[in-house]
Amino acid sequence: ETGVTQSPTHLIKTRGQQVTLRCSSQSGHNTVSWYQQALGQGPQFIFQYYREEENGRGNFPPRFSGLQFPNYSSELNVNALELDDSALYLCASSLGGDSNQPQHFGDGTRLSIL
Amino acid sequence: DAKTTQPNSMESNEEEPVHLPCNHSTISGTDYIHWYRQLPSQGPEYVIHGLTSNVNNRMASLAIAEDRKSSTLILHRATLRDAAVYYCILRDGFKAAGNKLTFGGGTRVLVKP
């Protein structure tokens, strides 16, 4: 079975720009969650999509937005980039709304803001 | 979300057991205890989860205190590949929507050859 894949692996942007990060979920998984991980810290929940609808959101401003497509792949969009947005962005997929289903993570996109 | 408390770091020798403690004194009756680990330069990886009874799988064992206010992840024979940050996370088992993982700082495990 194919695991969670994210693209690109690394990205450099400047302040004020916009970025789109992509995630292909594990085969059969219909739920995608996005996390931001700053250096030396644990991942922080951004939002989750279930069957193409946003299904929960963490404490992130509206300039962080997302999409889930019919094939359950997903995008994370960040507008008006700030220096503090420099982080590892992780995507995780899981099956259904059962809280006890493990989340399967990709290896992330490392975003650097100059 | 209920909080967990873990030591910042632990050291172990290769092929010896590792016991990783986690305190969760404010756990609710519907919270499951989940463990994830994050190897260097990788995304987190699910390890194990449980509610009340001790659990075993191919990766580890989870021992849960009778009052559920603490738990211990047990790696039976540490290998160099087990060097990672281990996260103890509480998840509400009855929450249908937005079942996020709330990560704390975790425990960094160093395995010495």
Q: Do A108 and B96 touch (CB under 8 A)?
A: no
B44 touches A: beta carbon within 8 Å = yes
- Mutation pick from B39, B87, B91, B100 vs chain A, by most beta carbons of A within 10 Å, is B100
User: Given a cut of 80, is residue A98 above it in pLDDT?
Assistant: no
Strand partners, A11: A111
Structure tokens at B26: 């404010």
- pLDDT given at position B97: 57
At CB < 8 Å, which residues of chain A contact B? 4, 33, 35, 41-45, 48, 50, 55-58, 90, 92, 97-100, 102-108
- pLDDT given at position A96: 75
- pLDDT given at position B20: 98
Tens digits of per-residue pLDDT, A26-77?
988 999 999 999 999 999 999 999 889 998 899 999 999 999 999 999 999 9
Q: Do B46 and A58 touch (CB under 8 A)?
A: no
For residue A2, what pLDDT band results from cuts at 50, 70 and 90? low
pLDDT in tens, chain B (113 residues): 668 999 999 999 999 999 999 999 999 988 999 999 999 999 999 999 999 999 999 999 999 999 999 999 999 999 999 999 999 999 887 765 557 899 999 999 999 99
Cα–Cα nearest to B9, from B104, B86, B90: B86
- Give percent of chain A above pLDDT 70: 96
Residue A80 DSSP one-character state: S
Cα–Cα nearest to B89, from B76, B78, B105, B77: B105
Q: Do B91 and A100 touch (CB under 8 A)?
A: yes
Torsion of CA B41, B44, B46, B52, to 10 degrees: 130
Nearest Cα of chain B lies from the Cα of A9 at a distance, in angstroms, of 11
Q: Do A90 and B43 touch (CB under 8 A)?
A: yes
On whether the CB atoms of residues A58 and B100 are closer than 8 A, the answer is: yes
Residue A39 DSSP one-character state: T
- CB count in 10 Å sphere of residue B75: 21
B42 touches A: beta carbon within 8 Å = yes
Question: Mean per-residue pLDDT for A75-93?
Answer: 97
Helices (H) and strands (E) in chain B, counts: 0, 9
User: Given a cut of 80, is residue A11 above it in pLDDT?
Assistant: yes
Residues whose CB falls within 8 Å of the CB of residue B18, separated by 6 or more in sequence, listed in order: B10, B12, B74, B75, B78, B82, B109, B111
- Interface A–B counts its CB contacts (< 8 A) at 68
